[in-house]
Chain A
Amino acid sequence: MQRAYSFKALLILGVIVLAALLVAASADRALAATASDTAEVGISIGILEVLISHGDINFGTATGTGYTSVQSGDATVKRNTNWKVTIQADSAAWTGSNGGRADKPCSHLEYNRSWSPGWIQLSTSPTELASGTPGEYTGTMSYRVLIVWADTPGDYQIDVTSTLTGN
């Protein structure tokens, strides 16, 4: 009886050991049959903006006092944050040449926005032209020049700056 029992004990022990080995081996194989891994896929977006202003505006030759003909040009704003655009004259007076006076005020240049009625005199202080939420926008700017008797014959030119910033 003692001997028979020992054989059974050894048999059971052997099966247990084999079962343990079986579980260990199968665990490795099962993991290998389906394997996963991960990767980060991303994109970094900073503050992006574009201001496309119209080019130079030429009013031609004025033929009398009062306002010149209206000249227009498109401007485009793209920005991925809230934004605003300001406009200002770079100098208080026009630059006169070929006889043109040197003190024609910048306010003689007036602008009009397609998205907001009314004519506004230009100044050297930044004035808000437009503002908005993130996006892409295009509008038309129109200009005219006030001609007065004080404007001596000649050529007149003034630089205007538009600035796009966050708002």
Chain B
Amino acid sequence: MRTRNRQPASSLKRRLGAPESVRLRLRLTYILSVSIGIATLSLAFPHHALAAVQIIAHSDILLTATVADFDTGYKLSLGNSVLYQCDQDSTWQIGIRSLDANLGPSDDATYTKPLSDLYWKGGSQGSWIPMTTSYVTVLSGSSSPGWWTVDIDYGFLLSWFNDKPGTYQATIQYTITSY
């Protein structure tokens, strides 16, 4: 029974040499297959999934704290641009979160700076917001194709009592989603 399903590859070649009526049926079959494929593609992937967006560029930020910053109680880094691209008209949303649960330990490992000591604001968020590991929307909207930027400000809380020497940092994730 299974031998009926096994055909050598050369059988296709033989088909190509088939009469005109057979070749026509082959073409019709091919066209039908393509049509089915395109229809399936359209149904399975509606318009919103076709909007192409991506984060193009941004910069790492490493600040250095001074006595004046400690006296002020914070250190700011303003206007950090995140460049993103829309390939076509799209509605999108940019989110931000930390991939780290804290800012890491002091050099002597006796203190861990909490993630909540890192604040940010920007986009549609006009107030300082403590960083968390959950996504928070920075900006949402619609854009025509092109490159766009959103500026994000960062601020570290500083304390003479808590912040022992060390390098404290978090990996921040920017995510853009199109609809």
Contacts and interface: CB of A to CB of B under 8 A. Distances in A.
Interface of A: 3, 5-7, 9-11, 14-15, 17-19, 21-22, 25-26, 29-30, 32-50, 78-81, 133-136
Contacts of A45: 65, 158, 163-168
Nearest to A136: B160
A123 to B, nearest CB: 30
A41 B61 contact: yes
A42 B70 contact: no
B177 A5 contact: no
A79 B48 CA distance: 55
Contact of A40 (B18, B29, B32, B61): B61
24 contacts: A10-B30, A14-B34, A18-B33, A18-B36, A22-B37, A26-B44, A32-B178, A35-B55, A36-B173, A36-B176, A37-B58, A40-B169, A41-B154, A41-B169, A42-B167, A42-B170, A45-B164, A46-B64, A78-B70, A81-B164, A81-B165, A134-B162, A134-B164, A136-B161
Interface of B: 4, 7, 11-12, 15, 18, 22, 25-26, 29-30, 32-34, 36-37, 40-41, 44-45, 48-55, 58-67, 70-71, 75, 77, 87, 99, 103, 118, 154, 156, 158, 160-178
A11 B103 contact: no
Contacts of A80: 70, 160, 163-165
Listed from nearest, the 9 A-B pairs whose CB atoms lie closest are A42-B169, A14-B33, A18-B37, A32-B52, A35-B54, A37-B55, A36-B175, A40-B60, A135-B161
A45 B11 CA distance: 75
Nearest to A46: B165
A148 to B, nearest CB: 43
Contacts of A42: 61-63, 103, 167-170
A44 B173 contact: no
Given A34-B176, A35-B53, A35-B176, A43 B64 contact: yes
Chain A at the B interface: SS class: mixed
Chain B at the A interface: SS class: mixed
A135 B11 CA distance: 87
A39 B58 contact: yes
Given A33-B53, A35-B54, A42-B103, A78 B173 contact: no
Nearest to A28: B52
B94 to A, nearest CB: 10
A36 B171 CA distance: 12
A39 B100 CA distance: 12
